[in-house]
Structure 1
Amino acid sequence: MPLCPADESFAQFLENSLPKDTVRKAEARYLEDPRGRWPGTSQYVALPRNPQEVAQIVKACGKSSVGLTPYSGGTGLVGGQIPNSGSAPLLLSLERMNKIRGTYPEENAMVAEAGCILADVQSAAEAAGRLFPLSLASEGSARIGGLLSTNAGGVNVLRYGNARELVLGLEAVLPDGQIWNGLKRLRKDNTGYDLRHLLMGAEGTLGVITAASLKLAPRPAATGTALLTVTDPQAALSLLSMARDQIGEGISAFELLHRTGFDFLAATLPEIRQPWQTAPEWCVLIELGLSIGQSPQDALERLFTEAHEAGLVQDGLIAQSGQQSQDFWNLREHFPEANKRIGSVASHDISLPLSVIPEFITQATEALNQIGTWRINCFGHLGDGNLHFNIFPPDGSTKDALKSRSAELTALVHDLTHEMGGSVSAEHGIGRHKVADLEKYGDPAKLWAMRAIKDALDPVGIMNPGAVLRDKNA
């Protein structure tokens, strides 16, 4: 049976039972996809202040068969937060739930509400002499609830893991309105099914995360950053292996960057200063974080010398100050914005076994060149196998002129990714944009189990309908 819309009468019903100004008309900012691909259909947004109000809202939606879509920072790139078909659901934003409930530096832990902005969590950890290592380009607006619900990645996954590896416990509201009080700050807790990992990555389809006990880490005593020019992706992969042998767990990030990305920066964001006259075809951005008594500068110089002698590295720049290090990262962090301004025909967030990445890049590029003329910006987190393989129109053309070919290009990239043992969604999630991809490439047994879990916990199907799994009520 189709769900009912969150219309004016339902909004009024909710408003009558909640504190004033909890429910309001959804402003444009709640209905905009960051890439401008589709507008949202919701009319109303609820802004609760505590878990009890969240529970009250979820219960009301279940009782009235009204869909509910959790909304976090609005930075998701696969439409998980933007319902654009079916009965208009109620948006649920936790932006008012933005308190740090407690910091425990001796435990390397922090309890933060789901509406906390990632940059604020990082700052609170720093104030306590600790590090919250989740880091990505949208950290100034992305919120903890959405980051955990999508199991976000970022640049430090190589060392610290995805978002799910940075969580000790959760507080969440389940689809029937129960509050799960799971904020224990325990490293060991073998008491049955681990609901943390069920909710993280579920993108709001199994419940609403309202707070989390987060893992903190010691702050590195010294950091170092370098941009090293490599001949090709295979050389970058060999450099990563060499760096691991020499430096071990001290490598915080290892990013592969292509010349196209720097060309796009020069064309769209010329105010961002680049450290060379002509960008190299391929380079690696590497960051180290070492303990007391260790010198990142020395470690990077040794790595450069050995890699140069082995023919892996042709040139390099080692940051001589904190500002220069930030300048290097500023280049990488503005790749997505430059891509957006150029306008891609098809963008892909994929992951592959490390050893097949060079061959994938070669095969995918050759296959694309056989069916047209394209500009390819291939970059990403080489250390954990996550590539952003984005395809752009040739000079003189636009994405709008070629958008009819988007599905063809994506099928080519995703088919090859699947054939080579990879994943068509590395860190962005499934959302609504990749539901068909999950159905096409997902393991049948896994899909069966996912549907069984969804139906058991959310039999009415109110939780983020149409995201991750196809809406059975549509």
Structure 2
Amino acid sequence: MNLRPAAEDLLAGLRDFLGPPGWRAPDDAPEVFVDDRDRFTGRGALVARPGTTAEVAEVVRRCVAARYPVVPVSGGTGLVGGHLTMTEPAPVILSLQRMNRIRAVDAADNAMIVEAGAILKDVQDAAEAADRLFPLSLASEGSCRIGGNLSSNAGGVNTLRYGNARDLCLGVEAVLPDGTVFNGLKRLRKDNMGYDLRHLLIGAEGTLGVITAAALKLFARPAESATAWLAVPDPEAAVELLHFLRPRVGDVISAFELIDVVGFGFLEEAGLDRPAPLDPMPKWSVLVECGGRPGVAEALETALGAAFEAGLASDGVIAQSQSHASDFWAIRETIPVANRAVGAVSSHDISVPVARAPEFIERATAALGAFDATLRINCFGHVGDGNLHFNVYRPKGADKAAYAMKSEDVKRIVNDLTHAFEGSVGAEHGVGRAKTVDLVRYGDPGLLAAMRAIKAALDPHGVMNPGAVLAAL
């Protein structure tokens, strides 16, 4: 890394170039630019807010010429400190918020082109207006932006059927670390002409360039959907239920979420109570959603009847309206909010092979119990694709500082076991700055060597988001 100290002439020149709409001070919106939900804190010398790809390229070129760090930021909703740095010099924060246009929607080609600053919910709504579906769905969809979704390869609740953000992208427009504009907004499903730079940029968290726009895949909107909340005996039965339902309802299951009753206790503890779908609430539940041709709801109801007879579920309720289904999803999406209010000793966004998820939950719970039997565990998440949020908490009312000292030990127990299960300690939230040590500890040596070589080749001065993903060249 070869970064020069702060250059006031560079910052003054950027202010003049961008004009009053195109820059602001970082503390004008700290919750986006320098704070991350009370978990991380960053700093910045200037927030550059370009309005065009050409302006993004010019900002990058000037910063590269001055050997000055650039940290891209999208919606500021990340969970691993990917857009926050405390290093010297304080970086130029490159915000894509003004670049938020829906450039084109082509229903016939099932594709749309949007700028990186477009809010995910606005993209979903634009697709719906064309009678199409853009299926990426996250709890933060009202504030997260497409550039950040792609840069972190976001997952969400519909990954089971539609894939991650990477799978929903046909092409990207991006500014590379030397200021070159990569014009890759093709809407092709097949294109084998050379290296796929799109997939290199997706998931790179702004370390290899700045995504400025994307061509996204659209899908037919389901003619009918069905949502159910079900009590299951244990996680093993939950996975068996998924495999049981698939051949009976067809390839229409878009979401299959595992929920621990501990999460309901946290809703109450955080003052975020919601009506329980079942009475009594079981230790383990699954929230399943299907969407497809007419008859999906009837097929799900019939399949669930057989599942009850097979002992894979003991109770359940099928949503009777879209509002009823929304109530179910509101519970699921409020649990992470309650988790943050309660305050975790250590949070883990991990993935393991789906078939081994029940064994992982059992063994990780036992290992943490042996370490400290007073710890509380809230395990929930996208069990249908093996992505679990296995989060660990102190006892209710216990001293936070006393348990904070256990954080690294807890994290190591969970991460070591995840690695032993041939899983990933960074499933859908990325690496950012929070998991750079984990990447080195658990990453394949060949992968790390290739990543360092690519970073050195494309960004030899380490200007783009220094300290994220790869802590150093």
**Same topology, TM > 0.5:** yes
Q: Say whether 1:412 aligns with 2:413.
A: yes
Matched position secondary structure for 1:452: helix
1:94 aligned residue: 96
Looking at structure 1, the residues matched to 101 and 21 of structure 2 have their Cα atoms a distance apart, in angstroms, of 19
Pairing 1:237-386 to 2, within 5 Å after superposition: 237-291=239-293, 294-372=294-372, 373-386=374-387
Q: CA deviation at 1:7?
A: 5.3
Change (3 A) 1:273 1:7: farther
3-state SS in 1 of match to 2:277:
coil
Query: Tell me, what secondary structure is at the counterpart of 1:313?
Result: coil
Structure 1 residues 400, 33: CA separation in 2 closer, same or farther (over 3 Å shift)?
farther
Secondary structure of the residue aligned to 2:59 is helix
Distance 1:131-1:5 versus aligned 2 partners, 3 A rule:
farther
Task: Specify the alignment match of 1:177 in structure 2.
Answer: 179
Distance 1:83 1:303, change over 3 A: same
Per-residue CA distance 1:214-265 (angstroms, 9 max, x = gap): 0000000000000010000000000000111212311010000000011111
SS at match of 1:249: coil
1:6 CA drift (Å): 4.8
Kept in 2: contact 1:70–1:208 (CA 8 A): yes
Give the drift of 1:398.
4.4
Partner residue, 1:221: 223
C-alpha distance in 2 between matches for 1:5 and 1:77: 28
Equivalent position amino acid for 1:243 in 2: L
Q: Cα–Cα, structure 1 residues 274 and 5, in superposed 2: closer, same or farther, change >3 Å?
A: farther
1:440 aligned counterpart, secondary structure: helix
Q: Which residue in the other structure is 1:462 paired with?
A: 463
Q: Which residue of 2 aligns with 1:122?
A: 124
Q: Give 1:402 shift.
A: 1.3
Specify the alignment match of 2:450 in structure 1: 449
Residue identity opposite 1:263 in structure 2: G
Moved more, 259-268 or 69-78: 259-268
Question: Is the CA contact (8 Å cut-off) linking 1:38 and 1:84 kept in structure 2?
Answer: no
Contact 1:56/1:177 (<8 A) preserved = yes
Q: Cα distance 1:269–1:224, how it changes in 2: closer, same or farther (>3 A)?
A: farther
Mapped to 2, the partners of 1:34 and 1:300 lie a distance apart of: 40
**Counterpart for residue 4 of structure 2:** 4
1:49 is matched with 51
The one-letter code sitting in structure 1 at the alignment partner of 2:344 is S
Checking the alignment, whether the CA contact within 8 Å between 1:7 and 1:43 is kept in structure 2 is no
Runs of 5+ in structure 1 lacking a partner?
none
- In structure 1, which of residues 196, 199, 202 is the aligned counterpart of residue 201 of structure 2? 199
**SS in structure 2 opposite 1:331?**
helix
Matches within 5 A, 1:134-149: 134-149=136-151
Match of 2:75 in 1: 73
- Deviation, structure 1 residue 300: 2.0
Point out where structure 2 has 5 or more consecutive residues left out of the alignment.
none
Q: Deviations over 1:176-227 (max 9, x none)?
A: 0000111011111111000110000000000000000000000000000000
Aligned to 1:431: 432
Is it true that 1:104 corresponds to 2:89 in the alignment?
no
Percent identity, aligned pairs only, is 56
Q: Out of 268-277 and 388-397, give the one that drifted further.
A: 268-277
Larger mean CA deviation between 391-400 and 367-376 belongs to 391-400
The secondary structure found in structure 2 opposite 1:122 is: helix
> Which residue of 2 is the match for residue 396 of structure 1?
397
1:372-418, Cα deviation, whole Å (9 max, x unpaired): 11110000001111000000111221443311111110000000000
Paired letter, 1:335? I
Output the CA distance in 1 between the equivalents of 2:13 and 2:275: 54
Q: Specify the code of the residue in structure 1 equivalent to 2:384.
A: G
Q: How many Å separate the matches in 2 of 1:183 and 1:2?
A: 32
* Cα distance, 1:266 vs structure 2: 2.2
**Partner Cα separation in structure 1 for residue 403 and residue 88 of structure 2:** 28
Give the whole-Å Cα distance in 2 for the aligned partners of 1:408 and 1:160.
36
Structure 2 CA distance for aligned equivalents of residues 270 and 90 of structure 1:
38
SS at the partner of 2:40?
coil
* Aligned amino acid, residue 304 of structure 1: L
Q: Deviation per CA, 1:96-151, whole angstroms, max 9, x where unpaired? A: 00000000001110000000000000000000000000001000000000000000
Distance (whole Å) between structure 2 residues aligned to residue 323 and residue 75 of structure 1: 26
| Partner Cα distance (1:119, 1:226) in 2 | 24
What CA distance in whole angstroms lies between the structure 2 residues aligned with 1:144 and 1:18?
23
Native 8 Å contact 1:300 1:318 kept in 2: no
Conservation of the 8 A alpha-carbon contact between 2:83 and 2:432 = yes
Give the Cα separation in 2 of the matches to 1:398 and 1:31: 31
Cα shift at 1:24? 2.3
Q: Deviations over 1:59-82 (max 9, x none)?
A: 011000000000000000000011
Helix, strand or coil at the partner of 2:406: helix
Amino acid in the other structure paired with 1:53:
E
The 3-state SS of whatever aligns with 2:345 is coil
Offset at residue 5 of structure 1 (A): 4.5
Amino acid aligned to 1:69: V
1:210 to 212, 219, 224: 212
> What letter corresponds to residue 167 of structure 1 in structure 2?
C
What is the alpha-carbon distance in structure 2 between the residues aligned to residue 341 and residue 99 of structure 1? 34
**What is the aligned partner in structure 1 of residue 17 from structure 2?**
17
Q: Give, in angstroms, the shift of residue 84 of structure 1.
A: 2.2
Q: TM-score normalised to the size of structure 1?
A: 0.97
1:272 aligned partner, one-letter code: R
- Across the aligned residues of Structure 1 and Structure 2, the Cα RMSD in angstroms comes to 1.3
Residue 296 of structure 1 deviates from its aligned partner by: 2.6
Matched residue type, 1:221: A
Q: What amino acid maps onto 1:379 in structure 2?
A: F
TM-superposed deviation, 1:10: 2.5
Return the offset for 1:17.
2.8
Structure-2 separation of matches of 1:49 and 1:454: 27
- 1:360 is paired with a residue of what secondary structure? helix
Which position in structure 2 is the counterpart of 1:84? 86
Q: Separation in 1 of the partners of 2:299 and 2:263?
A: 28
User: Quick one: structure 1 residues 382 and 219, their matched pair in 2 at CA, closer, same or farther if it must change by over 3 Å?
Assistant: same
Most deviating of 372-381 and 302-311: 302-311
Could you tell me how far apart the structure 2 residues matched to 1:80 and 1:6 are? 21
